[in-house]
Amino acid sequence: MQKKWWMESVGYQIYPKSFYDSNHDGIGDIKGIYEKLDYLNHLGVNLIWICPFYDSPMDDNGYDVRDFYNVYSEFGTLEDVKELITKAHGLGIKVVMDFVLNHTSDEHPWFIESRKAKNNPYRDYYIWHDGKMVDDKKVEPTNWGSFFGGSCWNYDELTDSYYMKIFSDKMPDLNWKNPKVRQEMIDVGKWWLELGIDGFRIDAVSHLDRARLIDIKNQKDKYPLDWTKFSNLPKVHDYLKILNESLFKPYDVLTIGEVGGQATIEEAKKYAGFESNELSMVFNFDHNWCNNLFDITNPKKLKTNVVDLKKTFDKWQKAFATDGWMPLNWLNHDQPRLMSQYGDYKYPLESGKMLATALHMMRGTPFVYQGEEIGMTNYPFEDVNDFDDISSRATYIYELEKTPDDPVRALKVASLRSRDNARTAMQWSKDLYGGFSLEEPKISNNRNYKRINVASQLNNNNSLLNHYKKLIDLRRFSAYKDIITYGAYEQIDIENEDLYIYKRILDDKVLLIINSFSKKKLTYDMSHFEITNIVISNYKDQKLKNKTLILRAFESIVFEIKESL
């Protein structure tokens, strides 16, 4: 197997708006990331993925790009980005940025041109279509719904036609069938790579091809959302092979695709198999839905389906066991917080450490999402106006339509699932605004920063932050480096409803990773194993009686073992 630097790396995802505000105007910025690089270096990560910082009207926080060759002014300047890359490289940290291929902002010059006339040279940069006549009324070309609510078409009076937009109205979809669009995006990529970027997280990459324009059969919704209409369709692979040939391969860069649309294993392997010549790896979301989040309104009712979670991890680990590579991440900027989903508020330290160990000991490249390492939690939204995120507002509206006289329910549902939970100001210290800024943040600032913050955990050896640091250290620098990075993964006792147990195996070395997802006291028979070392754990001691391991709430231990008969 070919070994690559990114297989031996640990990544950290940064949402620039809420990471650190260096000039104290209430918004995070590039210089803020620069200032916190020493912290990231101390944590031990050697790869950062920064969410979009392109010039943008910020309809979707930067995923709506107005100018691919410039930086959003409130985040800083191109000079700031160059300085950030230089400093990061000096510390041995690679820098990966978001590459948004599926759409631009409607304020992008290509779209401004495209709208003007049907014969405009930029018309074909986007997906335009005439409306359809239904009962003497002009309607959208298809009834397909969009991710952010409503139709996936938007009407434009100027030329009396519709453009496709699977996200917001202000995010028209690019037409990848057009070779000029492909060339433009290759040019954008080259330009950033020349500037020193080490790779891309490729946004919404599975959506670049669309199905035939046929209505979805669905009586319930006016605009049903059917991912299969624009996810993982055949031409996506052709486009990625072109990008690989002319951009990724010549620069030998890391590419991590965001593969939504419930990609199957076969599909994921097409994207990220070693022989596929498309992407280095793909983020999948299957493990994000292993609870009842979509059926409840009361967060106290949230329950993890541990078996489902274990089976999901197993499926992906097996799929990428030999002929491909995968990233390891719990959640990201599009999901509620890990501690509020799979963690336990009564045992934040134990459950937080257990979740970290469970993920970081698997095979793949781990990514920590900002604030996860200190156990940041969901935000207590009180009003729909607390939402900055366009999709959270859309969820609220959609839910309110279902129960118009119960806005409280709609707010609860939207809050539980809101992406804004992950986008609150990073909690650096117990100082005002959590040390994020000296000014009141223009984003939500969780009031629990006095309790949960970086400063208080940095020098506490027992903290969650230091557990992450230890895990990263184990993977990057310890005697277990090779087994953690390249060892085989094998799950055992897969039907156990509380314990997630797996082995990592390399030559004659074996690690046994035991994670309890329960607050109950549990036991596990260790008679088949001879323990030779305790590599990392989340309790001060281990309770082993007559070869029976007694596990306390959310206990997690990594043993080095020898298997005996």
Which are the catalytic amino acids? 203, 258
Which residues of the chain form contacts with ligand GLC (CB under 6 A)?
60, 63, 100, 167, 203-204, 258, 333-334
CB-wise, 30 or 293, nearer to Ca ion? 30
Question: Could you tell which of Ca ion, ligand GLC, none binds residue 29, using a CB distance below 5 to 8 A set by kind?
Answer: Ca ion
Instruction: Name which of 100 and 185 has its Cβ closer to ligand GLC.
Output: 100
Tell me how far, at minimum, the Cβ of 147 lies from ligand GLC, in Å.
7
User: With respect to ligand GLC, which residue has the nearer C-beta, 335 or 463?
Assistant: 335
What is residue 292's three-state secondary structure? coil
204: partner contacted, choices Ca ion, ligand GLC, none (Cβ within 5-8 A by kind): ligand GLC
In angstroms, how far is CA 370 from the centroid of its own chain?
11
The residue at minimum Cβ distance from ligand GLC is 63
Nearer to ligand GLC by Cβ, of 184 and 334: the residue is: 334
Please say whether the beta carbons of 388 and 347 come within 8 A. Answer: no
491 forms beta bridges with 502
Q: Which does 167 bind (CB under 5 to 8 A by kind): Ca ion, ligand GLC, none?
A: ligand GLC
Q: How far is CA 286 from CA 261, 308, 542, in A?
A: 10, 10, 33
CB of 180 to ligand GLC, least distance (A): 22
- In whole angstroms, how close is the CB of 284 to ligand GLC at the nearest point? 13
Which residue type, as a one-letter code, is found at position 210?
A: R
Closest CA to 138 of 126, 121, 153: 153
The one-letter code for the residue type at 152 is C
Q: Which is nearer to ligand GLC, 420 or 560 (CB)?
A: 420
CB of 52 to ligand GLC, least distance (A): 8
Q: Which does 203 bind (CB under 5 to 8 A by kind): Ca ion, ligand GLC, none?
A: ligand GLC
Angle formed by the axes of helices 265-272 and 306-319, to 10°? 40
Angle at the Cα of 529 from the Cα atoms of 524 and 530, rounded to 5 degrees: 125
Residue (64 or 399) nearer to ligand GLC, CB: 64
CB of 439 to Ca ion, least distance (A): 9
Distance CA 181, CA 66 (A): 15
Closest among 314, 253, 327, 220 to 97, alpha carbons compared: 253
Q: What does the binding site for Ca ion look like in residue numbers (CB under 5 A)?
A: 21, 23, 25, 27, 29
Among ligand GLC, Ca ion, none, residue 258 binds (CB under 5-8 Å by kind) = ligand GLC
Q: Which does 63 bind (CB under 5 to 8 A by kind): Ca ion, ligand GLC, none?
A: ligand GLC
Query: What proportions of the chain, in percent to the nearest 5, are helix, strand and coil?
Result: 35, 20, 45
Distance of CA 504 to the CA centre of its chain: 25
Our CB check for ligand GLC shows the closer of 198 and 203 to be 203
Which does residue 270 touch among ligand GLC, Ca ion, none (CB within 5 to 8 A, set by kind)?
none
Dist CA 49 CA 439 (whole Å): 26
Q: Which 8-state DSSP code applies to residue 145?
A: B
Please tell me the distance from the alpha carbon of residue 245 to that of residue 239, in angstroms, as a whole number: 10
Measure the CA–CA gap between 487 and 123, rounded to whole angstroms: 51
Q: How far is the CB of 260 from ligand GLC (least distance, A)?
A: 6
DSSP bridge partners of 14: 50
In angstroms, the CA 167 to CA 256 distance is: 21
Minimum distance, C-beta of residue 539 to ligand GLC, in the bound complex (Å): 36
